[in-house]
Chain A
Amino acid sequence: MNEALDELTLLETLDHLLDRGVVVAGEAIVSIGDVDLLYLGLNIVLANVDAIKRTSKR
């Protein structure tokens, strides 16, 4: 249970870090490392949704 909660907390934290807040004009990054940020963000959102479902079933 703790592992599931830790995973959920981490995903939520990354979701907020990468996909919230003010975008300063011209500074939105489209990739970090070799990973497309839109792709990464979408996967975090989807993983987050799955994690919420798993955690709430317990």
Chain B
Amino acid sequence: MKSVVIGAHLRRDDIEPLAEAIAAGELFLSGLPVADDQPLGDRELLLRVAKIRAALLERATFIAIRYGLAVSSPAEASAKCAEHLERWRALLEQHRDEVEMTLKVVAPERVARPDRHDFKSGGDYLKALHAATNAVEVDPEFHTAAEEAIGKGRWLHRDQASLELAALVARDAVERVRAAGEELKRRFPHVPFLLSGPWPLEVFADADRE
């Protein structure tokens, strides 16, 4: 058996009996045990993990681990996560009463994706791709209103057609933020966007996005 890792948690009872609790240093990883030959791309498995992830978040805030990590023992879990454990513990203690919410807004115009054939090197192509993604913009008025609605968080350029604002929201403020999202929809009927959440610590736990 192997366990598909879902997240990192402060306490064992934040996990059980919804998922398997795997000790990793002073923290616990939540896992879903599956057969060794179980393909991770199985649709039913993805949906099961998504469902457990949501149930775990209702219990307590945790750090989301990108889908794809599987471990066979607590020793393997500790070894693979060793360099992160101290930082994760600090984040979990700091954000215990918060969750993430995201507002994905569709840009008025999709920025043209560079054509690989126009570039001599892969590096130049990646730079152009990055520049095209970062060129995506939304109405400045909406930009400000979105921050007022869900809070000043991190704007992420993820593709050539949309922008995303991720913010930390107090657990008891989720409904207020949803209501602010509805109000935003009324104020900006011409701007297609999706307010979603609550989510575990995803963007705010990702050191690469700090």
Contacts and interface: CB of A to CB of B under 8 A. Distances in A.
Interface in B90-117: 104, 106
Interface in A10-42: 12-14, 16-29, 31-35, 37, 42
Contacts of A57: 192
B162 A22 contact: no
B118 interface: no
Interface stretch (B14-22, B143-151, B175-183, B194-202): B194-202
Contacts of B8: 22
A25 to B, nearest CB: 7
Contacts of A53: 106, 192
A43 to B, nearest CB: 11
Interface in A44-58: 45-46, 48-49, 52-53, 55-57
Nearest to B70: A27
B186 interface: no
A52 B66 contact: no
A22 B194 CA distance: 23
B83 A25 contact: yes
Contacts of B64: 16, 20-22
Interface string B182-210: 00010000011110100110110111100
A32 B40 contact: yes
A20 B65 CA distance: 8
A32 B200 CA distance: 23
Contacts of B199: 16, 20
A22 B205 contact: yes
Contacts of A33: 39-42
Contact of B104 (A22, A32, A42, A52): A52
30 contacts: A8-B194, A12-B104, A13-B50, A16-B196, A17-B50, A17-B53, A17-B67, A19-B66, A20-B64, A21-B64, A21-B200, A21-B202, A21-B206, A22-B84, A23-B66, A24-B65, A24-B66, A24-B81, A24-B84, A25-B80, A25-B83, A33-B39, A42-B159, A46-B159, A46-B161, A48-B104, A48-B162, A49-B106, A52-B192, A56-B192
Interface of A: 8, 12-14, 16-29, 31-35, 37, 42, 45-46, 48-49, 52-53, 55-57
**The 7 nearest A-B residue pairs measured at CB:** A32-B41, A33-B41, A21-B64, A29-B68, A20-B202, A56-B192, A21-B66
